Chains A and B, each alone.
Chain A
Amino acid sequence: DSGVTQTPKHLITATGQRVTLRCSPRSGDLSVYWYQQSLDQGLQFLIQYYNGEERAKGNILERFSAQQFPDLHSELNLSSLELGDSALYFCASGGLLHSTDTQYFGPGTRLTVL
């Protein structure tokens, strides 16, 4: 158990809908990262937050947004969902040593868009 929690574990929805994925980092970690993993693919970095502020942005679509709250949990919002958005979405949290984080992953949320 990495100490990172993600909810829900599974999510099934329809095209055009909006969903929110939630992540709670390990106790003491200030950084939260979001990744997308499509079937049999590698992990695509979406976005990183550190202590409530956006720190780095990857290949995140404009239909997707995220935020980190004062209690350090984070939410990833996916809107106008398309079939191609079906994937595993992982959150990772990191303990900060200046710019160097060691990332610990949560169990993921499996999103299915029908």
Chain B
Amino acid sequence: GQQLNQSPQSMFIQEGEDVSMNCTSSSIFNTWLWYKQDPGEGPVLLIALYKAGELTSNGRLTAQFGITRKDSFLNISASIPSDVGIYFCAGQLGGTYKYIFGTGTRLKVLA
């Protein structure tokens, strides 16, 4: 079945460092969404991407929709302790209304 490969699975970084994570798939997606989830909470939408090649920023976050529509990356610049959490990518499968979620990147920031 369709799946999103999200990497890295987890990462420890120092406060102030930049972070990069990505999602890839063999399937084509209409939309890419990036979420952050804190333990026991609902995912919070960070960035939404709708067009191939689109680059969008939200504060220290930047995400891009791959040209082939099969991948996306999320960058966080100058990380801070509150960036700790699990980041999920989600893609809406082309030709469907279904959303597939990646397995998540668990981010830990060391002060």
Chain B's closest residue to A100 (CB) is B31
- The interface size of chain B toward A, counting residues with CB under 8 Å, comes to 24
Residue of B30, B41, B92, B101 touching A43 (CB-CB under 8 A) = B101
Number of A-B residue pairs, CB cutoff 8 Å, is 63
Chain B interfacial positions (CB closer than 8 Å to A): 30-31, 33, 35, 40-45, 48, 50, 88, 90, 92, 96-104
Q: B-side binding surface: helix, strand, loop or mixed? A: strand
Alpha-carbon distance between A105 and B98 when the two chains are bound, in angstroms = 16
CA distance A59 to B97 in the complex (A): 14
Q: Is the interface of A mostly helix, strand, loop or mixed?
A: strand
> A48 in the interface, Cβ–Cβ < 8 Å?
yes
Of the residues A35, A56, A90, A106, contact of B97 by C-beta under 8 Å? A56
